[in-house]
Amino acid sequence: MESNPTFDKLRLELRRGVLVMAVLARLEAEHSGYSLRKRLNDDGIAIDEGTLYPLVRRLEAQGLLSSQWREEGNRKKRFYRLTDSGRDVLHRLSEEWRLLGSALEPLLPKE
């Protein structure tokens, strides 16, 4: 398929919001950055380290995640988990996603 700069830019904008929700949803259970990235990739949501780590740091700064360093197998790893505030935001975003999806579906072209 031919590259289209307008499509590429809009796709990136759409993906950013989806990645936030995916990260919040996966962090209902604790994950290291590596295991979170692997789990998201296994879910079909590809995310590279250069996107994931700034995102989790931003979400932590916003109070939506907490993290702690721990040793695992002779290595220090940072583990992330949703905070109560993060859980609330995830539930509210999920509801918004469902409402928008329901409203948008009848408007989309049929394949």
**What are the pLDDT digits (tens) for 11-25?**
999 999 899 999 999
Give the mean pLDDT of the chain: 95
**Domains (ranges, CATH) in the chain?**
27-105 (1.10.10.10)
Q: Which amino acid is at 87?
A: R
C-alpha dihedral sign at 18, 93, 81, 31: negative
Residue 102: pLDDT band (50, 70, 90) is very high
Taking phi over 0 as left and psi of -120 to 50 as alpha, with beta for the rest, 63 belongs to left
pLDDT of residue 62: 98
- Distance, in Å, from the CA atom of 24 to the CA atom of 91, rounded to the nearest integer, reads 10
Output phi, psi for 95, to 5 deg. Answer: -65, -45
With contact defined as beta carbons under 8 Å apart, do 23 and 40 qualify?
A: yes
DSSP 64: S
